[in-house]
Amino acid sequence: MTADLRQYAPATQRNREPILEVLQRVLPPTGTVLEVASGTGEHAVFFAPHLQPRSWLPSEFNPQLLESIKAWQKVYPCDFLYSPIRLDSQNIPWNLDSHEAEITAIVCINMIHISPWEVCLGLMAGAEQVLPSQGILYLYGPYKQKGEHTAPSNASFDQSLRFSNPLWGVRNLEDVIEVAQAHDLHHLETIEMPANNLSVVFEKGIGNRE
């Protein structure tokens, strides 16, 4: 019997419906959505059938998580779901092979706080590289606003993250927006989500890649 390589992230079951509701509203109506840091793959197999005719391209850097994504795809196949690619968001320029020309949006869920700040910088640089004019970058997760946590639970979470790795931590939303703007990604809106998380939506400016 083949081992089941699927991994599970309990938060996925709780946040996927609210995230989907926002994605259905803010994503371009066609094209390929690149998911950066797809994690276990649970979001990918849920979003892809709900967001068609858009295609969904998962990506991960962790080899074990790449195998988890593939395992989830075997259980829940979808014609609009690509096989995952290995992507290190810090490694600029991104090598997306034949997928690059199709990408109209990037989705990144719960990555920025569980990684060094340099990963956020790479994400913004990569988004500037691959998104066309009016392409969408969607972020989800906990954020500080004006340097303050939005809830005591987020402050405790931030403390636990920094204990695990001093380079991790809940980021200040204004800092993220500032970096995005430096890469021609303009802040459209911030949406309050369950469990003191935020959806943050950016749009690529008119400076198209050639």
14-56 tens-digit pLDDT: 999 999 999 999 999 999 999 999 999 999 999 999 999 999 9
Residue 209 has pLDDT above 50, yes or no: no
CB 88 within 8 A of CB 116: no
Residue 147, phi then psi, degrees to nearest 5: 80, 0
Where residue 199 falls among pLDDT bands split at 50, 70, 90?
A: very high
Give a yes or no: residue 199 inside a domain.
Answer: yes
Where residue 1 falls among pLDDT bands split at 50, 70, 90?
A: very low
Give a yes or no: residue 89 inside a domain.
Answer: yes
Can you tell me the distance from the alpha carbon of 162 to that of 100, in angstroms, rounded to the nearest whole number? Answer: 35
Confidence (pLDDT) at 70: 97
Can you tell me the distance from the alpha carbon of 135 to that of 105, in angstroms, rounded to the nearest whole number? Answer: 5
DSSP state string for 122-152: HHHHHHHHHPPTT-EEEEEE-EEBTTB-SSH
Summarize pLDDT for 70-111 with one digit per residue, the tens. Answer: 999 999 999 999 999 999 999 999 988 656 558 999 999 999
What range does the domain containing 88 cover?
11-204
Output the domain CATH number for residue 163.
3.40.50.150
Give a yes or no: residue 40 inside a domain.
Answer: yes
Whether the model pTM is above 0.75 = yes
Give a yes or no: residue 210 inside a domain.
Answer: no
Confidence (pLDDT) at 166: 97
Give a yes or no: residue 19 inside a domain.
Answer: yes
Summarize pLDDT for 150-193 with one digit per residue, the tens. Answer: 999 999 999 999 999 999 999 999 999 999 999 999 999 999 99
Kindly report the number of other CB atoms within 10 A of residue 119's CB atom. Answer: 20
Can you tell me the distance from the alpha carbon of 4 to that of 94, in angstroms, rounded to the nearest whole number? Answer: 30
Can you tell me the distance from the alpha carbon of 129 to that of 69, in angstroms, rounded to the nearest whole number? Answer: 25
Give a yes or no: residue 4 inside a domain.
Answer: no
Q: How many domains does the chain have?
A: 1
Name the 3-class secondary structure at 157: helix
